């Protein structure tokens, strides 16, 4: 079976100034299967978010190929891109900036349905609010009345209303408190089981990726340095950069952290 999404040798250049270009992606390949969660881990500037944005048509693709469901969508524009909204959606990091503060939650959730001329958008909105465990009277409220975690639920509901087959999750929990983070991650997992949607899950946190992703790729300076089943990548990495990344993340256990730190120091001093 061919994968739901496949990215081949993707190159993205950002123009910084008139003659200065920054190559954010240097030939990246990745696949996502139906109903699967694929993690993309890296530090700032690694290009992980750029890859997500390129899939959504929000980053300038220089070369390479993005195929969704057998269709080449690398340079989809205008009506073709808008049609993709049925299949590909997004959840962003910032739970404050990703919802228009001047619209009610009802308007926010209905917007993707209205532009697609879906009949009876109200019913779909209510169904989605239930899905993300928000009270139905939320529709009349404004985003500012909700906490960070609740807003992220609204953003997830918006991504789900068109019943897409793939959601790009761009650091969806990194702006949240720890306890909220855990419940939102569980929500992502539950929704995936209920709807069969696939996730491309971008994060800087190996712990988060381990929790939700089946497979994981690690990015460093615009390239994928390691890919594989999440457990293998996050517990016994083979690539030196992934090893450093893993050892650098402190673990919430003083004794184990002391060992990890010693290992990290050894790796650092040997380099």
Partner 1 sequence: MTAAPFPANLAPVKRVSLWRRFLRRPAGVIALVVMILIVLVAVLAPWLAPYDPNLVKLRITNVGPGGDHILGGDSGGRDILSRLIYGARTTLFGAAITCVSAVLIGVPAGVCAGYFGGVTDRVLTWISDALQSIPVLLMLMIVAAGTGQSFPVLMVVLGLFMAPGYYRITRGRAQAVRKEPYIDAARVSGVTNPRILRTHMARAVYPPIVVQSALTAGLAIGMQAGLQFLGIGSAQTPSWGQMISNGMLVINTHGLILLWPSIALGLTIASLAFIGTTLADLISIRVEQPTRRMRLRARQELAKAPASAELPDRVASGTHAHEVADCALRIDNLRVGYPSPAGVKEVVRGVSLDAGPGEVLGIVGESGSGKTQTMFAVLGLLPIGGTAVSDGIHVNGKEVGGLPALERAALLGRSIGYVPQEPMTNLDPSYTIERQLVEPLRQVQGMSKAAAKARAREVLVRVGITDVDRVLRSYPHQISGGMAQRVLIAGAVSGRPSLLVADEPTTALDVTVQAEVLELLRELQQEYGMALVIVTHNFGVVADICDRLVVMKDGRIVETGAVEQIFRSPADPYTAELISASLDDADGRVELDKAHVGGEDGAR
Residues 197-216 that bind partner 1 (CB under 8 A): 204-205, 207-208, 210-214
Q: Kindly give, in sequence order, each residue whose CB lies less than 8 Å from that of residue 199, ignoring residues fewer than 6 positions away.
A: 32, 36, 37, 38, 166, 167, 168, 169, 188, 192, 212, 213
CA distances from 103 to 3, 37, 106, 145, 150 (A): 37, 31, 8, 12, 16
Query: Scanning residues 123 to 182, which ones bind partner 1 (CB under 8 A)?
Result: 133, 135, 137-138, 141-142, 145-146, 148, 155, 158, 162, 177-179, 181-182
State in angstroms the smallest separation of the CB of 115 from partner 1.
5
Q: Which is nearer to partner 1, 122 or 229 (CB)?
A: 229
Token pair 């696939």 in the structure block, residue: 198
Hey, which residues does 226 pair with through a beta bridge?
218
Query: Scanning residues 24 to 83, which ones bind partner 1 (CB under 8 A)?
Result: 37, 43-44, 53, 56-58, 81-83
State in angstroms the smallest separation of the CB of 16 from partner 1.
14
State in angstroms the smallest separation of the CB of 78 from partner 1.
9
Which among 3-11, 26-34, 62-70, 240-248 is the span making contact with partner 1, rule CB under 8 A?
Answer: 240-248
- Asked whether position 190 contacts partner 1 by CB under 8 A, the answer is yes
Q: Which is nearer to partner 1, 37 or 125 (CB)?
A: 37
Instruction: For residue 135, count other CB atoms closer than 10 A to its CB.
Output: 10
Member of 29, 67, 243, 257 binding partner 1 (CB under 8 A): 257
3-state DSSP assignment of residue 214? coil
Interstrand relation of 215-220 and 223-229 (parallel, antiparallel or unpaired): antiparallel
Q: By C-alpha distance, which of 45, 5, 39 is closest to 26?
A: 45
- Asked whether position 221 contacts partner 1 by CB under 8 A, the answer is no
Using CA atoms, how far apart are residues 148 and 144, in angstroms rounded to an integer?
9
Contact string 94-123 vs partner 1 (x = CB under 8 A)? x--xxxx-xx-------xx--xx-------
Cα dihedral: 97, 45, 218, 258 (round 10): -90
Which among 4-12, 17-25, 123-131, 245-253 is the span making contact with partner 1, rule CB under 8 A?
Answer: 245-253
């Amino acid at each position: 079976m061919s994968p739901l999404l496949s990215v081949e040798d993707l190159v993205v250049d950002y123009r910084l100034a008139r003659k200065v270009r920054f190559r954010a992606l240097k030939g990246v390949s990745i696949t996502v299967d139906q109903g699967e969660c694929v993690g993309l881990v890296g530090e700032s500037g690694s290009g992980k978010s750029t890859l997500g944005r390129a899939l959504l048509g929000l980053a300038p693709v220089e070369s390479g190929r993005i195929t969704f469901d057998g269709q080449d969508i690398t340079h989809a524009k205008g009506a073709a891109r808008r049609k993709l909204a049925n299949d590909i959606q997004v959840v962003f990091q910032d739970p404050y900036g990703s919802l228009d503060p001047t619209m009610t939650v009802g308007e926010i959730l209905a917007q993707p349905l209205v532009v697609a001329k879906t009949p009876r958008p109200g019913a779909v909105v209510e169904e989605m609010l239930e899905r993300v465990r928000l009270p139905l009277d939320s529709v009349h409220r404004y985003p500012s009345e909700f906490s960070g975690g609740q807003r992220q639920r609204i953003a997830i509901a918006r991504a789900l209303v068109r019943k897409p087959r793939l959601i790009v999750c761009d650091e969806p929990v990194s702006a949240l408190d720890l306890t909220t983070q855990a419940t939102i991650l569980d929500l992502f997992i539950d929704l995936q089981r209920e709807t069969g949607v696939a996730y491309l899950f971008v994060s800087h946190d190996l712990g988060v990726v381990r929790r939700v992703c089946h497979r994981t790729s690690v990015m460093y300076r615009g390239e994928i340095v390691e890919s594989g089943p999440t457990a293998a990548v996050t517990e016994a990495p083979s690539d030196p950069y992934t090893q450093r990344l893993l050892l650098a993340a402190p673990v919430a256990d003083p004794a184990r952290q002391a060992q990890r730190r010693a290992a990290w120091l050894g790796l650092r001093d040997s380099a």
